[in-house]
Every structure is written in structure tokens, then in C-alpha cells.
Amino acid sequence: MVTVWDMIRAQFHMLDYLGIDRVHAVVGSSLGGMQALAAASMYSDRVGRIVSISAATRSHPYSIAWRH
């Protein structure tokens, strides 16, 4: 299973590859909002601000099952 943490690691590897050291803001809703929270948590030195819209800190097992 790919976690939100895995997604953020991949996104920041891409930023490294592109030579981008810092982002002004990470903005997302729902899963993107979860990613914004994770990005700020994992890379606080590289994220200026976050906008997290309609996000939770984690998915409920029922929600995960519903999407699959």
C-alpha cells in the first residue's frame, strides 16, 4: 500500500531532481490536504505555508475500503 508519507517522499524527490529547494506553499483538498499536512510535518524547513482543505490526519478504514 502506498501511504501519504510515500507520496510526499516521491514529490520531494522530484523537487530535488528539478533543483527546487523550497516551496512557497503546499495547497490541497481532501487527500491533497493530507499531503499538505504531511509535507509540512516531514519537510518543515522546505515548506513556507500550507493550505489544507477538508482533510483529516488519516483515512478511516471504511473510507479506504469505499475507494477500492
d(CA 16, CA 60): 32
Give the max Cα distance, the chain.
Answer: 39
- Give pLDDT tens digits for 10-55: 999 999 999 999 999 999 998 899 999 999 999 999 999 999 998 8
67 has a pLDDT exceeding 80:
no
Task: Judge whether residue 64 has pLDDT over 90.
Answer: no
pTM above 0.85, yes or no: no
Answer yes or no: is pLDDT of 68 > 90. Answer: no
Give the integer Cα–Cα distance in Å for 58 and 2.
Answer: 13
